[in-house]
Structure 1
Amino acid sequence: MPTFHRGHTTIAYTDTGVPEGREDAPVVFFAHGLLFSGWMFHRQIEHLRADYRCVTIDFRGQGNSPRARGGYDMDTLAVDVAELLRHLQIPVVNFVGLSMGGFVGMRLAARQPESVHTLTLMDTAATAEEPANRSKYKTLSKVYRLTGVRPLRARVAPIMLAPGNIDAPWVEDWLAALDRTDRAGLAKAIESVADRDPCEDEAVRIIAPTLIMVGAEDAATPPAKSRRLEELIANTSFHEIPGAGHSPSMERPDEVNAILSAFLSEYNA
């Protein structure tokens, strides 16, 4: 997997490149949720790569990006994305962010509107984490740092997935990837998400056409929080995904692909 360096930080990414015969193809940039990596969008990339250049990032301490000295906060991650795009000489993207990726995407769209042509926000919110959740996630982070994810499966899976998807075949691949992740780095990422600042004041400045999707059974970011984004962002469309929890790109990929394709086609004709 290719990497780029920002100071002392190494950040992994993937890039499908320009589709054959489509030198002017738009770019779709995917930003993953906590405990995942760019891998969580592989079904969307398979679906889109014939018509779009698809790029993913692995945030600091997650996926194939090693532990960083610091800078796990959402503001720094937004700069990481901007620097990666500069490194790849990509001036504008269709940004797709799930949960933590959405926290980053909203900041980028508000601060650098010229770089975000469309914005897709999945299972995310502009608010700070609820105090009860913040405490729970920090406790899980401490335990994970000592034991790894396997002993926590029964507590983590219901947060990330709808009940009917907890034993899906791909879940084992996800847990195996977490087993390979540096625990200290991922623990810092968890704590930074738990402690994130709200960005409602920035969300109201977003001008990019915005698609909002949320799993109907999302326990981590319930649909009502995604509905709040409709009130903050001027140009939005909203879709609730039946049978999905906090990770619909993996739980209900066909439904997500259909909705995302239609949205991208509308604004990239």
Structure 2
Amino acid sequence: MTTEDGARIHYRDTGGDGPAVVLMHGFFKDSEMWAAQERSLAPDYRLITIDARGHGLTEDSDAPFDNWRLAWDAWAVVDHLGLDRVVAGGLLQGGWIGMRMALLQPSRVRGLILIGTRADAYDAAESVGFEMIIMNQWILGDGPLEPIATPIAVQMIGGTREDRRYWLDKWNASDRRRLQQAGRCLIDRESIVDLVKDITAPALLMHGVQDQIHSRRQTEELAGQLGGPTRVETIDGLGAAHAVTYTHPEVTDPIILDWLASLPA
């Protein structure tokens, strides 16, 4: 699907006539992180997963973009597929995009799935840390990626060594400088705390008990900031860190299915 500014947005679609769910990946990942959900949600639900600019198979001009642009990209995919209302959301960055989708077109969002995400901007210390590690060492660095990426994978994925090895191999084979605009979008993200009170759609918020990136407190803060009914779930288990839907689908997916079934038509 091609946007009005020429970006070619790659997406995966399980198809079918079930209610549509649009999920977006976290930073450094792509739509393949939702493979388990493609199996568990179908055929009752139609799952659409999108590669954000700078990630996966999406092609863009390398011009600067922000999370509002990514939200419009997601709506462009939804419109391309001829869908009216959807459940939206995703992991970290995917949650930021989902909340902006709801702010841009509130009547079209049936609900939000928000995993390890927040509405506020990074504070000064977080911004400096991400600038040094993600921008200067990972994206713009010239040294080997593996020593940088391995500890980050523990935090951003969690799970087992096998879970992390899959993404480490993808990262090592990729063009790391392709992420430059995505990195700026990540680090320079603005706060929408004063806006999310206008989101009245029901929201499911999930958080891995061992998540070192996103705390239970931040999840509860976001639940209190949203304007609609919320359900907060902490995912337990060995390695249940940040990307819990990828590492622990046997725990997360029954919760997602139960919540989806509770939504008004």
Instruction: Tell me the TM-score normalized by structure 1.
Output: 0.90
| Aligned residue in 1 for 2:31 | 38
Q: Secondary structure at the match of 1:10?
A: coil
Q: Which ranges of structure 1 fall in alignment gaps of 5 or more residues?
A: none
The equivalent of 2:102 in structure 1 is: 109
Could you tell me which amino acid in structure 1 is paired with residue 137 of structure 2? Answer: V
Q: Once the two structures are superposed, what CA deviation does each residue of 1:88-107 show, in whole Å capped at 9, x if it has no partner? A: 11111111311001011111
Given that residues 149 and 175 in structure 1 are in contact (C-alpha distance below 8 angstroms), is that contact kept between their aligned partners in structure 2? no
Q: Find 1:143's aligned residue among 137, 140, 144.
A: 137
In structure 1, the residue matched to 2:63 is 70
1:81 aligns with 2:74: yes
1:158 aligns with 2:162: no
The AA in structure 2 aligned to 1:253 is P
**Secondary structure of the structure 2 residue equivalent to 1:260:** helix
Gaps of at least 5 residues in structure 2 are: none
Contact in 1 for aligned 2:119/2:222 (Cα 8 Å):
yes
Q: Please, which of 194, 209, 232 is the counterpart of residue 202 of structure 2?
A: 209
Give the direction of change, closer, same or farther, for the CA distance of 1:148–1:4 in structure 2 (3 Å limit).
Answer: farther
**Counterpart position of 2:118:** 125
- In structure 2, which of residues 163, 167, 183 is the aligned counterpart of residue 170 of structure 1? 163
- Of 255, 260, 264, the residue aligned with 2:256 is 260
CA contact (8 A) 1:71 1:77 kept: no
Whether the 8 Å CA contact 1:68–1:185 is kept in 2: the answer is no
TM (normalized to structure 2)? Answer: 0.91
1:171 CA drift (Å):
1.6
Moved more, 187-196 or 176-185: 176-185
Shift of 1:180: 3.7
Match of 1:8 among 6, 9, 12: 6
Amino acid at match of 2:20: V
State the aligned residue count: 259
The whole-number CA distance in structure 2 between the counterparts of 1:148 and 1:39 is 24
Aligned partner of residue 89 in structure 1, secondary structure = coil
Q: Given the alignment, which residue of 231, 235, 243 partners 1:237?
A: 231
How far did residue 67 of structure 1 move?
4.7
The CA deviation at 1:9 is 1.4
Larger displacement relative to structure 2 (140-149 or 41-50): 140-149
For residues 184 and 115 of structure 1, the distance between their equivalents in structure 2, rounded to whole angstroms, comes to: 35
Amino acid at match of 2:145: V
